[in-house]
């Protein structure tokens, strides 16, 4: 059996990109030119003592163990290598030597990460990129049904926070839409969703609108503010646009 791979620049892709202790990772070889005749994986330099395995797609069995081989390794006909039950000893430089149309070598550094235990700590879920002024927001765990609501927040009210069915005293909400959870435990794991209602997304930086939406104020004026200004009012039954007013900033 021959393995035929499309041509391209060779590289090694890690899946996942940030493997963790106890997990697994696949080192996939991308961009091999021609049919793979054989390949070998090494850790460190490519001498015989550092070889994990050699693989011959046309043989049965195709895999020949090397000095560093162990039963957490699995090789595939496309040249890739899978490592399971990762530990710190798996970190290092991995090199694959492939014989296809020509012999090629490529290396990659593998780093293993630890999962961070947040039990007893705290986390803030910050919302980035909101357009306009926040009128209200609500946080949910799982689907956005009322029974899954932590809280609703209305910045203009006093108090601004309205507890939902899932509210508890380890939660703290902020006017910018963010949510802080303290004294974390396993029950806090899951999917969190925020619903945000904002208004006046067209108001640029440095411009404020009065609460009744009738007055626009500029904190700073420059020549780029010159131009025609008009007011447009819309309700359910009608729409009105004022006569333009020209403003020139000298």
In tens, the pLDDT along 42-51 reads 999 899 999 9
Whether residue 235 lies inside any domain: the answer is: yes
Averaged over 74-83, what is the pLDDT? 96
The answer to whether residue 93 scores a pLDDT higher than 50 is: yes
Whether residue 116 lies inside any domain: the answer is: no
Does 104 lie in the same domain as 34? yes
Does 133 lie in the same domain as 101? no
More confident: 225 or 86: 86
pLDDT bin (cut points 50, 70, 90) of residue 189 is confident
Name the one residue in this structure whose structure tokens are 């919302």: 127
- The pLDDT of residue 4 is 39
- The pLDDT of residue 117 is 61
Averaged over 66-83, what is the pLDDT? 96
Residue pair 27/108 in contact by the 8 Å Cβ criterion: yes
Whether residue 52 lies inside any domain: the answer is: yes
Whether residue 183 lies inside any domain: the answer is: yes
Averaged over 96-123, what is the pLDDT? 85
Whether residue 118 lies inside any domain: the answer is: no
CA distance 53 to 68: 8
Taking only the tens place, the pLDDT of each residue in 173-186 is 999 999 999 999 88
The answer to whether residue 6 scores a pLDDT higher than 80 is: no
Domain of 188? 123-199
- Mean pLDDT is lowest, of 3-7, 54-58, 101-105, 144-148, for 3-7
Does 183 lie in the same domain as 143? yes
Q: Residue 79 sits in a domain of what CATH number?
A: 2.60.40.10
Does 151 lie in the same domain as 100? no
The answer to whether residue 149 scores a pLDDT higher than 70 is: yes
Report the number of distinct structural domains present in the chain: 3
pLDDT bin (cut points 50, 70, 90) of residue 249 is confident
More confident: 206 or 121: 121
Name the one residue in this structure whose structure tokens are 């131009």: 227
- What phi and psi, each to the nearest 5 degrees, are found at residue 88? -60, -30
Whether residue 158 lies inside any domain: the answer is: yes
pLDDT bin (cut points 50, 70, 90) of residue 240 is confident
The answer to whether residue 231 scores a pLDDT higher than 90 is: no
Residue pair 90/110 in contact by the 8 Å Cβ criterion: yes
Does 30 lie in the same domain as 94? yes
Does 76 lie in the same domain as 128? no
Residue 120 sits at the vertex; the CA angle it makes with 116 and 122, to the nearest 5 degrees, is: 75
In the chain, % of residues over pLDDT 70 = 90
Taking only the tens place, the pLDDT of each residue in 137-146 is 999 998 889 9
The structure's pTM equals 0.48
- Shortest CA distance to 78 belongs to which of 23, 41, 24, 110? 41
CA distance 34 to 28: 16
What 3 state SS string does 38-53 have?
EEEEEECCCCHHHEEE
């Amino acid at each position: 059996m021959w393995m035929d791979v499309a041509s391209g620049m060779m590289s090694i892709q890690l899946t996942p990109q940030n493997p963790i202790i106890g997990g697994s990772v696949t080192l996939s070889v991308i961009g091999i030119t021609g049919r793979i005749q054989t390949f070998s994986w090494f850790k460190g330099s490519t001498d015989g003592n550092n070889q994990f395995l050699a693989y011959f797609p046309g043989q049965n069995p195709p895999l020949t163990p090397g000095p560093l081989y162990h039963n957490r390794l699995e090789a595939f006909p496309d040249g890739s290598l899978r490592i399971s039950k990762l530990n710190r000893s798996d970190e290092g430089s991995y090199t694959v030597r492939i014989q296809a149309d020509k012999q090629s070598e490529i290396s990659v550094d593998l780093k293993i990460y630890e999962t961070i235990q947040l039990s007893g700590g705290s986390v803030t879920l910050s919302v980035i990129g909101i357009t306009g002024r926040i009128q209200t927001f609500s946080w949910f765990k799982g689907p956005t049904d009322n029974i899954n609501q932590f809280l609703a927040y209305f910045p203009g009210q006093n108090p601004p926070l309205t507890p939902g069915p899932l509210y508890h005293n380890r939660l703290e909400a902020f006017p910018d839409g963010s949510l802080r959870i303290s004294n974390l435990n396993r029950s806090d794991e899951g999917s969190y969703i925020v619903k945000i209602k904002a208004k006046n997304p067209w108001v640029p930086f440095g411009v404020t609108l009065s609460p009744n939406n009738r007055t626009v104020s500029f904190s700073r004026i420059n020549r780029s503010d010159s131009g025609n200004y008009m007011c447009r009012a819309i309700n359910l039954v009608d729409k009105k646009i004022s006569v333009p007013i020209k403003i020139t900033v000298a």
